[in-house]
Structure 1
Amino acid sequence: MSGTITPSKSEISLQPDLSNQTLISDKPGLGEFIQETLALTKRLFIQLQRRPSTLIAGIVQPLMWLILFGALFQNAPQNLFGEGLSYGKFLGAGVLVFTVFAGALNAGLPVMFDREFGFLNRLLVAPLASRFSIVAANAIYIIALSLIQAAAIIITCAFLGAGFPSPVGLAVITLIVLLLVVGVTALSLGLAFALPGHIELIAVIFVTNLPLLFASTALAPLSFMPGWLQIVASLNPLSYAIEPIRYLYNHSDWSLGSIVMQAPWASISFGGALLVLLVFDAVILVAIQPLLRRRIS
C-alpha cells in the first residue's frame, strides 16, 4: 500500500498559484509593428503585381480626362478661367486631386474583401504585435498608389503645356496630396469596418464620387457657380486641395499668406487651406478610432 504525501499549509502557501496565471510574452515593440506592417504592405503589392489592371486604369483614366476635357474647352475665350490661363492648365489641379481622392476612397475595398473571404479573421487571431498594422499597411499601400498616380498626372500636364512647378512647389503638392489621402483613406477604412459588405461600400463610393467632383472647383471656378453651389464647394475638402495646387502652377512667387480662393464668407489663404486639410484629417482620425478599436479588438 503506497501512502500519499500531503503538503503542509506552509508549503502550500509557498507554492506559486499557477491556476490563474497566464503566460505573458514580452511586450512587442516598434520594430515588430514595423515588420508586420511592411509584411502586410508587401502582400498588397504582390496582389497588385499579379493584377496590375487597377493601377493601369487609375493612371489611364485621369489622363483621358485631361486630354478629352482639355480638348472640349480648348476654344473657350482666353482669360475665361484666369489671366493667361487655358482650360488645360486650369483642369490639371482638379484632375490630380480628384484622382487621388477617388483612389483613397477605394482604400476600404481590400479590407472589405478580406473580411468577406475570411482572411481578416485569420489576421485578427494571429499573434500580431499590433492589429493596427492591418490598417497601417492598407494606408501605406493607398498612399504609394496615389503618389504614383499624381506623378503620372504632373508629367502629363507638363507635356500638355502646364509646365512643372518649382522643386519646392512639387514638395508642397506632395504634402497636399498626402494630407487629402490620409483623411479620405481613414474614412474609407472606417466605412470598411462599419458597413456590412462590399455592395454597401461600393454604393457609398458611387454616390460620393461624382457629387464631390462637381461640387468642387475641379472643373470650374467658384465665380461660375450659382450662390448655393459656391457655398457647397467652399465646404468641400477637395476645393482646399485643388486651389493651392492650382495657385502653385500659376504663381512662381507664393507664400502661406497668398489668397488662393474667394469663399462666399472669406478669402482663403494658402496656409488657411492647408489648415483646413489638417483639421479634416484630425476629425476623421479621431472619429474612426473607437470604431477601429471595437472591430479589431
Structure 2
Amino acid sequence: MTSAAPSLLSPEASQQPPRSAAADLAQETFALCRRLFLQLLRRPSTLVAGVLQPLIWLVLFGALFANAPAGLLPDGLSYGRFLGAGVIVFTAFSAALNAGLPVMFDREFGFLNRLLVAPLRSRSSIVLASVLYITALSLVQSLAIMATAAALGYGWPGGSGLLLVLVTLLLLVFAVTGLSLGLAFALPGHIELIAVIFVANLPLLFASTALAPLSFMPPWLGWLAALNPLTFAIEPIRAAYAGQFSLSAVVLQAPYGDVTASGCLGVLALLAVGLFLLIRPLLDRKLS
C-alpha cells in the first residue's frame, strides 16, 4: 500500500481560513486601479490637459464677461461666479466621458483578454477599478478648478455647500462613467469612441446652463437645457456657491416647473442607477 502524498502547504498555511469574496474583489480592484494610476504617473499629460483646458475657459470667459451689466444674471451674480459652477461640472463630465478609453485600449492591445483568462475571483473588479480611477481623477480636476475660482475671487462654498458639490459631482461621474464604459464595450474601436466623445462634449455644454441662464435661451433650447443632465448638476452647485444651500430650495425654474436641489440630485441618482442597469447585460456578456 502506498503512503499518502505529503501536503504541499505548511501547517500554518493549511490552518488559514479561506479569503472571502469581498476581500478578493477589493484586492483585485486595488491592483487594477493601481495600474491605471501608474499609467497616469508615467504619462501625466492627461491630468495636466484635463486641468488646463477648463482653467483657460474659466479665466478667459470670466474676463470676457467681467463688465456685464449688473442684474444681467440671476440673483445679481457676477459672471465669473456664475460660470464657475458650469466649468466645475463640465470638467467632471469630460473626465467621466473619457472613462471608456483605457478599457477600449486594453481591448485593442489584448490586455483585456489576458484579464479575462486570469484567475480573477470576480471580473467586476475590471469595471470597479475604472469607476474608482475616473472618480478620483474627476474630483482632483474639479477641486483644482474650485481652488482657482476661489483665487480669482469667485467664491468658495461653505462646509455644507462643499458636501453638496461633492455629492452632485459623484452622481454625475457615476452616471457618465457607466455610459462611457458601455460605449467602450459596444463600439468597435477607439476611433469610434473618440468620435462619440467629440460629438457629445460641446453640444451638451452649450445646451445646458453652464454658460448662460435659461432666460437667455430661445424656447426650444431652454427645453433642451432643462432636460440636460449637466443642468441638473450645475444648478445645485451654483446655489451652493450663492450661499443658498437647502435641499428644498428651488434651483431650476424649468419650462415644465420648478425643480429643487433634492429633485436635481434625485434625477442624477436615477440616471446613474439606470445607466448601470442598462449596461450590465452588456458587461456580463463581454466579461463572461
**RMSD, aligned α-carbons:** 1.0
Q: Give the whole-Å Cα distance in 2 for the aligned partners of 1:206 and 1:149.
A: 19
Quick one: which of 177, 182, 190 aligns to 2:182? 190
Instruction: State the match for 2:257 in structure 1.
Output: 266
Unaligned runs of 5+ in 2: 1-17
Quick one: which of 218, 242, 256 aligns to 1:250? 242
Instruction: State the match for 1:33 in structure 2.
Output: 25
Q: Give the whole-Å Cα distance in 2 for the aligned partners of 1:245 and 1:278.
A: 15
Q: Give the whole-Å Cα distance in 1 for the aligned partners of 2:99 and 2:172.
A: 13
Q: Provide, for residues 211-249 of structure 1, a one-character-per-residue CA deviation record: whole Å limited to 9, x for no partner.
A: 000000000000000000111111100000000000010
Does the alignment pair 1:291 with 2:282?
yes
Instruction: State the match for 2:269 in structure 1.
Output: 278
Calculate the TM-score normalised by the size of structure 1: 0.90
Quick one: which of 140, 151, 171 aligns to 2:143? 151
Does the alignment pair 1:126 with 2:118?
yes
Give identity over the alignment, percent.
63
Instruction: State the match for 2:95 in structure 1.
Output: 103
Unaligned runs of 5+ in 1: 1-25
Instruction: State the match for 1:168 in structure 2.
Output: 160
Task: Give how far 1:167 is off.
Answer: 1.1
Aligned residue for 1:207, secondary structure, equals helix
Instruction: State the match for 1:139 in structure 2.
Output: 131
Q: Provide, for residues 239-283 of structure 1, a one-character-per-residue CA deviation record: whole Å limited to 9, x for no partner.
A: 0000000001012x4321100010001001111111110111111
The code of the aligned residue for 2:23 comes to G
Does the alignment pair 1:219 with 2:216?
no
Aligned residue for 1:262, secondary structure, equals strand
Q: Give the whole-Å Cα distance in 1 for the aligned partners of 2:163 and 2:282.
A: 33
Structure 1 moving runs of 4+ over 4 Å: none
Instruction: State the match for 2:108 in structure 1.
Output: 116
Q: Give the whole-Å Cα distance in 2 for the aligned partners of 1:107 and 1:82.
A: 34
Q: Provide, for residues 163-220 of structure 1, a one-character-per-residue CA deviation record: whole Å limited to 9, x for no partner.
A: 2111111111000000000000011001000100001000100110000000000000
Q: Provide, for residues 133-159 of structure 1, a one-character-per-residue CA deviation record: whole Å limited to 9, x for no partner.
A: 001001100000001011101111111
Instruction: State the match for 1:92 in structure 2.
Output: 84
Contact 2:207 2:225 in 1 (8 A): yes
Task: Give how far 1:52 is off.
Answer: 0.4
Q: Give the whole-Å Cα distance in 2 for the aligned partners of 1:265 and 1:249.
A: 25
Instruction: State the match for 1:204 in structure 2.
Output: 196
Contact 2:161 2:245 in 1 (8 A): no
Instruction: State the match for 2:10 in structure 1.
Output: none
Q: Provide, for residues 29-52 of structure 1, a one-character-per-residue CA deviation record: whole Å limited to 9, x for no partner.
A: 100000000000000000000000
Contact 2:150 2:156 in 1 (8 A): yes
The alignment of Structure 1 onto Structure 2 pairs a total of residues equal to 271
The code of the aligned residue for 2:287 comes to I
The code of the aligned residue for 2:30 comes to L
Task: Give how far 1:84 is off.
Answer: 2.8
Q: Give the whole-Å Cα distance in 1 for the aligned partners of 2:260 and 2:170.
A: 19
Contact 2:247 2:260 in 1 (8 A): yes
The code of the aligned residue for 1:153 comes to I
The code of the aligned residue for 1:83 comes to D
The code of the aligned residue for 2:265 comes to L
